[in-house]
Copies of this chain bind each other. A is one copy, B any other.
Amino acid sequence: MTGRSTRDEIVDASDRLFYRRGYGETSFADIADAVGISRGNFYHHFKSKDAILQAVIEVRLAETKRMLEAWERESGDPADRIRCFIRILIVNRADIGRYGCPVGTLSTELVKMNHASRGEAVALFSLFRAWLGRQFAALGRKRDADALAMHLLAMSQGVATLATAFGDEAFIRREVRRMCDWLDSCVAGSAIERNEGE
């Protein structure tokens, strides 16, 4: 299997470094050190730094899709599925406290630098947005499913940003509880909507 090991190691190391330091602050030398190969040798696997970024985003897109599908398999209840999403704030709280949300920070950075791949980075957001929207629709909130999805995304992004600033994991737990309460009130609201509508 050609290049499997090295190419994927480059992508893995870049993924981690882009997350921890940011794309712009990560140099070829950093990646070379992390992988343990010589700097000039990159161009056999990737023709530019941007190409590595593209590969990293592709991997993240694929992994996100896998994760969303797994959540769908875990439960048939849309509310439970949404709770899976909310819970990643807790699962990843340590990394979020140090480096922020990998989706939000990359997308903000690429939009700021007007990078060619900013669209793909935002597509990561769109994946969550569409998936959450489908869950809210299945919950009976067809009318405002996308608005609810965006609202939930915004809350989790805000929690991540403040948790990074203050390094406060208790804050994450508190806000997660609040988000779950809000979700419950959405479910109650959708029951009303169902009764009214039909």
Interface residues of A (CB under 8 A from B): 20-22, 24-25, 98-100, 104-105, 107-109, 111-113, 121-122, 125, 147, 150-151, 153-159, 161-162, 164-166, 171, 174-175, 178
A165 → B minimal CB distance (Å)? 5
A39 → B minimal CB distance (Å)? 20
Q: Are B164 and A150 in contact (CB under 8 A)?
A: no
Q: Are A175 and B151 in contact (CB under 8 A)?
A: yes
Q: Can you sample 19 A-B contacts with CB below 8 Å?
A: A20-B112, A21-B112, A21-B113, A22-B24, A24-B25, A25-B113, A98-B111, A100-B108, A100-B112, A104-B161, A108-B161, A111-B164, A122-B166, A150-B162, A151-B175, A154-B158, A156-B158, A157-B158, A161-B161
Closest to A98 in B: B111
Alpha-carbon distance between A174 and B159 when the two chains are bound, in angstroms: 19
A106 → B minimal CB distance (Å)? 10
Closest to A166 in B: B122
Q: Assuming A21-B112, A157-B161, what are 20 further A-B pairs, CB within 8 angstroms?
A: A22-B109, A22-B113, A24-B24, A25-B113, A98-B111, A98-B112, A99-B111, A105-B108, A107-B161, A107-B164, A108-B161, A121-B165, A150-B162, A150-B175, A153-B158, A154-B159, A155-B155, A157-B157, A158-B161, A161-B161
Q: Are B162 and A154 in contact (CB under 8 A)?
A: yes
**What B residues does A20 contact at CB under 8 A?**
112
Alpha-carbon distance between A102 and B158 when the two chains are bound, in angstroms: 14
Q: Are A105 and B112 in contact (CB under 8 A)?
A: yes
A128 → B minimal CB distance (Å)? 10
Closest to A107 in B: B165
With most chain B CB atoms within 10 A of its CB, the pick from A112, A113, A147, A166 is A112
**What B residues does A24 contact at CB under 8 A?**
22, 24-25
